Amino acid sequence: MIELASAQEKVLLAVQQASPVVLPIQEAYGLVLAENIVSREEVPHFANSAVDGFAVRAQDVANTPATLRVVDEIAAGGIPNVAVGPGEASRIMTGAPMPNGADAVVMVEDSTEDTTRHEVVLHASVQTGQAVRPRGDDVHIGDVVFRVGDVLHPAAVGVLASINVYRVSVTPRLRVAVLSTGDELVDDGTPLALGQIRESNRTMLMGLVTQAGCEAVDYGIVRDNEQALEETLRTAASECDAIVTSGGVSMGAYDVVKALLGRIAHMTWMQIAIKPAKPFAFGMLDAPRESAPNRQVPIFGLPGNPVSSLVSFELLARPALRKMMGKTPALRAPLLAVADSSLPRKTDGKVHFQRVVAKSHSDGHIHVAPVSQQGSHQLAASALANAVAVLPDGNGVAAGGEVRVLLLSDLVEEA
């Protein structure tokens, strides 16, 4: 057996970041920038009001109440018609351009307006610049607003639009082929015959691949037939950037996946010192020459037991896919949590990953409790787990003890 860290290192060293592509910003959500973004515009482009109110000269409201003559009304998107002079004010809406002569805004809540006399009584003094957003207050020309390696979250894409950047160079979203193998699998809704099981791994992995930020491509169930499997894998290699398979990577006599991949791909077969997810296969399959010269597609061979497949994806496939898309860190960072109940285990030379439910408590700590069943085939019992507890070889963790956890979700509910 090999240590998990060594297996992760082998996989991460073998995969490379994808070459950048130029995309419209609407297609770049969640992707990693491959270029620095330097603004050629200022935001805001003009000084504008931060509130609904009256644009004034601050010196005219130094003593309140102050009665001023209303000379104009400026809506957002409008243009000031007249300058504000001594003893004058312009009614102004949030986001509207500041008129010449005015240097502050009094909120409408601090005013009493007489529209028939075109006058307003202002009840609050303001300082010069109060409630005014200056030109370039957010972004100046020449500012580096984003750098290589930054992830384009929705707010970042909004900033790009605000500075007139509508196409960007990014590391592309991967297309990942997902398939399950085995004569025993059924997904057509028909009654089960003896020996058959409902397909679940592929369905789960499609979601995990999507959650990792990739485009999951469903290649269905492939029967235990080398010719059919080879055709499917070669098609997937021509159409996708990576392949995730489930089943057929252990030591069984009928593991067609292992036999075929050993013949057509450059594979490494691993027995990793972890529980669950001990068997794992990783390698490279040459893509057809017509798709791209010398292109190799990574294959992640996950075990067939559903929980093992989930854990194997999280620990080995997901980090590699993240690296290929330029996302750092590739590996999930462990967090410290409090075990609300004991997390026992037996000494066996492996690191155990127990599925737990993690919640944030009012004491400022994350607390975890194990799910009811920990068998590698018991996916239903693990379905609500949002983290795994990392238990080094030994006797486990007592209730109230500190334990390292890997969150499987970006969100942790409050208790």
The mean-pLDDT minimum among 5-9, 89-93, 187-191, 364-368 falls in 187-191
3-state secondary structure of 13: helix
pLDDT tens-digit readout, 382-401: 678 899 999 999 999 999 99
Do residues 110 and 52 touch, judged by C-beta distance below 8 A? Answer: no
pLDDT tens-digit readout, 29-58: 999 999 999 999 999 999 999 999 999 999
pLDDT at 253 over 80: no
Geometric angle at alpha carbon 216, from 311 and 319, rounded to 5°: 40
Q: Nearest 5°: phi and psi at 108?
A: -60, -30
Geometric angle at alpha carbon 360, from 357 and 363, rounded to 5°: 130
pLDDT at 414 over 70: no
pLDDT of residue 377: 52
pLDDT of residue 29: 95
Structure tokens at 15: 């995969």
Q: How confident is the model at residue 215 (pLDDT cuts 50, 70, 90)?
A: very high
pLDDT of residue 251: 58
DSSP state of 317: I
pLDDT of residue 24: 98
Geometric angle at alpha carbon 154, from 153 and 160, rounded to 5°: 95
pLDDT of residue 257: 83
pLDDT of residue 197: 87
pLDDT of residue 211: 93
Fill in the amino acid letter for 248: G
How does DSSP assign 219-279, residue by residue?
Answer: EEEE-S-HHHHHHHHHHHHHH-SEEEEES--SS-TT-HHHHHHHHHSEEEEEEBSEES--E
Do residues 21 and 170 touch, judged by C-beta distance below 8 A? Answer: yes
Domains defined for the chain, CATH in brackets: 4-19+172-324 (3.40.980.10), 21-43+138-171 (3.90.105.10), 48-133 (2.170.190.11), 335-407 (2.40.340.10)
Count each helix (H run) and each strand (E run) in the chain, helices first: 8, 29
Geometric angle at alpha carbon 138, from 46 and 171, rounded to 5°: 120
Round the average pLDDT of the chain to a whole number and report it: 92
Note the helical H segments in 43-165: 154-162
3-state secondary structure of 163: coil
Structure tokens at 258: 């292992």
Q: Nearest 5°: phi and psi at 63?
A: -120, 125
Instruction: Please state at what angle helix 226-239 crosses helix 256-264, rounded to 10 degrees.
Output: 60
pLDDT at 100 over 80: yes
